[in-house]
Structure 1
Amino acid sequence: MDDLQRRGTAIREEVLGTGHVARARAGVTAFDAPFQELITEAAWGRVWARDTIPLRERSMLTIALLAALGQDAELELHLRATARTGASEADVMEALLHVAIYAGVPRANHAIGIAKRVFAERAD
């Protein structure tokens, strides 16, 4: 494993949790291994690992983008990750208010429903 893979894996585990990363790795096949390598290096090792903004802000940006694009499964994953990134429920709402203005009320409304469910499950 090269340095970019190590750094990407470390930040991915910090944000998503070691359990999630272990489950993702366990499911890797020869077919999707190149994709997993790409996201570990590019998304996690190059972008998320940068020290220009903290994880909290990266988390909020990611949530806003995923909500705007309607990527529900990834949105849910990153909403769960806020417990580790430091983004609060109030931070998430601020991000989703921006989604409403810049990407549309229906996208934000749908994402708010997902966030309410995720945060309620976390509170149980």
Structure 2
Amino acid sequence: MSELFDTGDATRRRTLGDAHVNRSRAGDPVLDAPFVELITEAAWGRVWSRDTIPPRERSMLTVALLAGLGNHEELRLHLRACANTGATKEDILEVMLHVAIYAGVPRANSAIRIAREVFAELEAGDG
């Protein structure tokens, strides 16, 4: 693997946790390995590893985009990652208010429901 992959892998593990990253690599090597390499180098190595935006703010941006686009599975994943990036429930509320105004109330309403579920799971130790 490349140096960019290694950098991205370290950032991805720090943000999403080892368990998630390990699960993502346990799939079909023909279908999954090229995709994992792509996102690890591009998303995590080239974008998330930049030091221009702190992880908390990068996490909030990501949550806003995922909520606004209705990507609920990835939204759940990145809401869980807030525990590792420092984005708080209060930060996520502010994000959802922006989502409501700029992407629509139905998108924000769904995302708030998901956030409520995810944070409850994390507080119960199920996350």
> Could you tell me the TM-score, scaled by structure 2's length?
0.95
Q: Deviations over 1:50-99 (max 9, x none)?
A: 00010000000000000000000000000000000000000011111100
State the distance in 2 between where 1:32 and 1:81 align: 22
The aligned counterpart of 2:109 is 109
Q: Which amino acid aligns with 1:11?
A: T
The aligned counterpart of 1:21 is 21
- Which structure 1 segments of 5+ residues have no match? none
State the distance in 1 between where 2:117 and 2:61 align: 20
- The 8 Å contact of residues 9 and 44 in structure 1, kept in 2 or not, is answered as yes
- The 8 Å contact of residues 67 and 99 in structure 1, kept in 2 or not, is answered as yes
- Which structure 2 segments of 5+ residues have no match? none
| Offset of residue 36 of structure 1 | 1.3
- The 8 Å contact of residues 64 and 99 in structure 2, kept in 1 or not, is answered as yes
- Three-state SS of the structure 2 residue aligned to 1:30 is helix
Q: CA RMSD in A?
A: 0.8
- The 8 Å contact of residues 28 and 36 in structure 1, kept in 2 or not, is answered as no
Q: Deviations over 1:14-69 (max 9, x none)?
A: 00001110111111421232211110000000000000010000000000000000
Q: Percent identity?
A: 65
State the distance in 2 between where 1:100 and 1:63 align: 13
